[in-house]
C-alpha cells in the first residue's frame, strides 16, 4: 500500500512536467496544425537557464540569496527567456512557411530542434551538468503523509503546475486573447475577417506554450538533477505521447495525458522494470494511434449544418 502511494506521487510529479510540455505541444498544434518537434528542446533550454541562475547566485553550495527567491528567479527567467525564444522561432522559422505545404514546417521543426541541441552543445559542452538540488533544498523538507514522502521540490512541482494549468484554462476560456486563440485555431481566415490580429495571436500562443516548457525544464532540473543538451529529445517525445493520448489540440486532454504517462512510467518502473518504461510508454502511443487516434478528449470537428 505504501509503495503504491509513493509510486503514485512519483508518477504524478513527472506527469505534471509532461503535462506542462504537452500543453505547449498541443496549443501549437491546435493553432498551426504543426507538430513542433523543437518543443522538447525548449524545455532543455529552460533547464539550462535554471542551472545558470544557480551558478550566478553563488552555485549550489553557496547560494547567496534566500532559496525561495532563487527558485522564483529561476522559474521567471526560464519562462520569459524560453517564451521569447519560442516566439523568435515562430517568427523566423515557421511564419515564412505558414502557407507552405504542411511537410515544410514539419521538417523545419526538426531542423530547429537540431539547431537548439547543437547550439547548447557548442556553447556549454556535451557533458552532463548537475543542479545539486539536495545541497540547497534538503531532502527532509516537505511533508510525510502516512509514511509517503512528498519532498518540497515535488510540492513545488504540484503547486506550480496546477496553478499554471488553471491559469491557462482561465485565459483560454475567459479572456479576449484566449477566445482569439480558439478562433484562429478553428478558422484562421474567418478570424482575420473579424479584425483579429492573427500574427500576434499565434506569436503569443508560442510565448505561452514555450514559457510553460521552460518552467518544466527548471522543475525537472530540480527534481532529477541531471541536465544535458539532449534531454529535450526524449522529454519531447513523451510529451508528444501525452498530447496524443489526451487528444492533441485539447488543453484538458494534455493535462490528463501528461499525468497518465507519468503514472504509467512510475508504475512500470516500480512493478515491471525501469528498463521497460519507454517501451510501455511508446507502446501506449502506438495503441492510441491504432485504437483511438483522436485521443481521450479529442473529437472530430462538428459538421456544419
241: exposed, middle or buried (Cβ count in 10 Å: 0-12, 13-18, 19+):
buried
**What 3-state class would DSSP assign to 130?**
strand
Minimum distance, C-beta of residue 96 to another protein, in the bound complex (Å):
17
Per rule CB under 8 A, is residue 61 in the interface with another protein?
A: no
For residue 290, how far is the Cα from the chain centroid? 25
x-or-dash pattern for another protein, window 139-178, by CB under 8 A? -------------------------------------x--
Considering only residues 190 through 249, tell me which ones interact with another protein, judged by CB under 8 A. 190-197
Per rule CB under 8 A, is residue 3 in the interface with another protein?
A: no
Minimum distance, C-beta of residue 179 to another protein, in the bound complex (Å):
6
Could you say which DSSP state residue 90 is in? Answer: I
∠ Cα 186 189 190 (to 5°): 70
| Residue 291 CB neighbour total at 10 angstroms | 7
Partners of 8 in beta bridges: none
C-alpha cell at 265: 512510467
C-alpha cell at 167: 491559469
Per rule CB under 8 A, is residue 7 in the interface with another protein?
A: no
How many alpha carbons lie under 13 Å from residue 28 in its C-beta half-sphere? 33
Per rule CB under 8 A, is residue 303 in the interface with another protein?
A: yes
Minimum distance, C-beta of residue 191 to another protein, in the bound complex (Å):
7
146 vs 189 by CB, closer to another protein: 189
Interacting residue with another protein among 186, 226, 273, 274 (CB under 8 A): 186
- The size of the interface with another protein (CB under 8 A), counted in residues, is 21
Binding site residues, another protein, CB under 8 A: 176, 179-180, 182-183, 186-187, 189-197, 301-305
Amino acid at each position: 500500500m505504501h509503495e503504491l502511494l509513493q509510486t503514485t506521487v512519483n508518477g504524478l510529479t513527472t506527469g505534471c512536467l509532461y503535462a506542462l510540455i504537452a500543453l505547449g505541444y498541443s496549443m501549437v498544434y491546435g493553432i498551426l496544425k504543426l507538430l513542433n518537434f523543437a518543443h522538447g528542446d525548449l524545455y532543455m533550454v529552460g533547464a539550462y537557464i535554471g542551472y545558470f541562475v544557480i551558478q550566478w547566485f553563488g552555485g549550489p553550495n553557496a547560494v547567496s540569496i534566500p532559496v525561495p527567491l532563487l527558485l522564483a528567479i529561476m522559474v521567471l527567467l526560464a519562462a520569459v527567456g524560453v517564451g521569447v525564444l519560442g516566439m523568435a522561432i515562430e517568427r523566423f522559422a515557421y511564419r515564412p512557411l505558414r502557407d507552405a505545404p504542411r511537410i515544410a514546417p514539419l521538417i523545419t521543426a526538426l531542423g530547429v530542434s537540431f539547431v537548439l541541441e547543437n547550439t547548447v552543445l557548442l556553447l556549454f559542452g556535451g557533458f552532463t551538468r548537475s543542479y545539486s538540488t539536495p545541497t540547497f533544498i534538503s531532502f527532509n523538507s516537505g511533508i510525510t503523509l502516512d509514511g509517503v514522502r512528498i519532498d518540497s521540490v515535488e510540492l513545488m512541482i504540484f503547486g506550480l503546475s496546477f496553478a499554471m494549468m488553471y491559469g491557462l484554462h482561465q485565459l483560454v476560456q475567459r479572456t479576449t486573447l484566449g477566445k482569439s486563440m480558439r478562433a484562429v485555431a478553428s478558422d484562421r481566415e474567418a478570424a482575420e475577417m473579424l479584425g483579429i490580429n492573427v500574427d500576434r495571436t499565434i506569436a503569443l500562443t508560442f510565448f505561452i506554450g514555450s514559457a510553460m516548457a521552460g518552467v518544466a525544464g527548471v522543475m525537472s532540473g530540480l527534481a532529477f538533477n541531471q541536465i544535458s543538451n539532449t534531454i529535450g529529445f526524449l522529454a519531447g517525445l513523451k510529451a508528444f505521447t501525452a498530447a496524443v493520448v489526451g487528444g492533441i489540440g485539447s488543453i484538458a486532454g494534455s493535462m490528463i495525458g501528461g499525468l497518465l504517462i507519468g503514472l504509467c512510467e512510475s508504475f512500470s518502473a516500480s512493478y515491471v522494470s525501469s528498463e521497460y518504461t519507454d517501451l510501455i510508454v511508446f507502446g501506449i502511443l502506438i495503441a492510441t494511434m491504432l485504437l483511438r487516434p483522436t485521443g481521450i478528449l479529442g473529437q472530430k470537428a462538428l459538421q456544419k449544418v
